Amino acid sequence: MYNWVLTVSLAASDEAGKNAAADRIRSGLQGLPGVVASMAERTLPGVYNGGDLICRAVFKNAVAYKVATAGPDGRKLRSVLDDKSTVSALNEVAYNGGLSGGTPNNPTVYRVALFYANVNPNRDRLEQFRTQTAAMPRYIKSIQRWQLSTTDSGKGLHPWTHVWEQEYATLDGLTGTYIMHPEHWSNVERWFDPEYPEWLVDPVLVHTFCNISKPAIVT
């Protein structure tokens, strides 16, 4: 499947205005031709560069995504996203689904992280990073479903290179078990820390999450 993920900071200063803007964007996503699944959910407290809204749309392939976003419905949605009175900041990525695994079991939380691997990103280092990140669900049992992908395009704070997605049964599975797990700190964190020789990923990243009522990762 082909994916389009956006993290949106809404310009409205009040909750009613933010909800109205989120509804407009949600409706625009749902109305795209060829969309297999879509979501637009308000973020939870504690996100980092995560904005107010997480949007995710799934298409059969890259061609379907390009047709949908270039057509009249896609242009209408883009005009909303480009309207500074509605959206104050935007990060977005488009990508084929990459490595994935796990089984959803009534997940309630979706988390997505956007990374920019820009510190000596040679093939061997990128492959080691990919392998070790994708191994985390073997040790961190709170992760239900997951997907690690490289982007075809990314923009916003960075031209993002990687998308790391997970689903959890509870918020504590992310903010407690995942964040504090030794596997996270001992093996994977060094790719993000300038004090380690393995440092690969720019310190400015997106870490954001929201409630969901059904699985978000479609493969």
pTM over 0.85: yes
Q: Which domains does the chain have, with CATH numbers?
A: 2-95 (3.30.70.100), 97-211 (3.30.70.100)
CB burial class (10 A; 0-12, 13-18, 19+) of residue 58?
buried
Q: Which two tokens stand for residue 159?
A: 């031209």
CA–CA separation, 187 vs 137, rounded Å? 13
Per-residue pLDDT tens listing for the chain (219 residues): 999 999 999 999 999 999 999 999 999 999 999 999 999 999 999 999 999 999 999 999 999 999 999 999 999 999 999 999 999 999 999 999 999 999 988 999 999 999 999 999 999 999 999 999 999 999 999 999 999 999 999 999 999 999 999 999 999 999 999 988 877 777 788 999 999 999 999 999 999 999 999 999 998
Cα–Cα distance list, 111 to 20, 107, 122, 129 (Å): 23, 11, 27, 19
Cβ–Cβ < 8 Å for 19, 65: no
Q: Which two tokens stand for residue 115?
A: 């990374």
Name the one residue in this structure whose structure tokens are 């504590």.
172
